[in-house]
Chains A and B, each alone.
Chain A
């Protein structure tokens, strides 16, 4: 086989565009984490929790699992492949909070961990609350008008 043909062959079998590979991986990991969430939800409702409480406990469970995996250094290894698949579920929020807290340890617990823990959580909470308040004000006015 000449080198030109070899090149062609390598090209043909190397992974396609990295965007396509990223897409598939994020789809599988993201979907998978949601399925784990759904299975936990079914488990908790079977155990007698009402739907709203189950949903809350599922969130806390996923946050705990992601926090533990982050602390053990396993989360990053999964996230390297999963990309948005582990970022977008609530696991990504947990990972961001925990990894920032751990990185800030050397700077002390008040202005280190205490402040830096909000590096990513802060913006998420701030803009989430902002959106919520805007919605609340509109909803309040709407209900006053008898909507």
Chain B
């Protein structure tokens, strides 16, 4: 696959995943916070049933950048940890695999609140 083809597939898949959420928001008045929760859980589900990895091979960041990818990452971490450590891996794998995203978002949030005064409200 050429770089251009990859980027087109990434754009279309990522766009569709976001547009689906937009339909849910506009038609059902579901809150943005719930969208995020649903998408993370859907990501875990897609990975669990074996759909996510073949999708990732084709669409790349188109499926991994949306929060579905965050969920799939949790599921991948759980699977690897269960393979390695057995049952306890179900408890350790998820946070370990998503730690970089969670920790960086929280720390950037703290730094932003220390350094900036701007008011912003969205949810």
Contact = CB atoms under 8 A, between A and B. Distances in A.
B58 interface: no
Contact of A133 (B70, B83, B91): B91
Contact of A38 (B10, B43, B70, B111): B10
Contacts of A93: 36, 67, 70, 101, 105
Given A102-B119, A128-B70, A88 B18 contact: yes
Contacts of A105: 113, 117
Contacts of B78: 132-133, 135-136, 139
B55 interface: no
A124 B36 contact: yes
Interface residues of B, number: 80
Looking at chain A's contact residues, the main secondary structure is: helix
Contacts of A95: 122
The bracket for how many chain A residues form the interface is: 35 or more
A27 B16 contact: yes
A87 B27 CA distance: 17
Contacts of A55: 64
Interface of B: 3, 6-7, 10-19, 21-23, 25-27, 32-33, 35-37, 39-41, 43-45, 47-48, 60-62, 64-67, 69-71, 74-75, 77-79, 81-83, 86-87, 89-91, 93-95, 98, 100-102, 104-106, 108-113, 115-123
Interface of A: 18-19, 22-23, 26-35, 37-39, 41-42, 55-56, 58-60, 62-64, 67-68, 70-73, 75-76, 79, 83-85, 87-90, 92-105, 109, 113, 117, 119-121, 123-125, 127-133, 135-140, 143
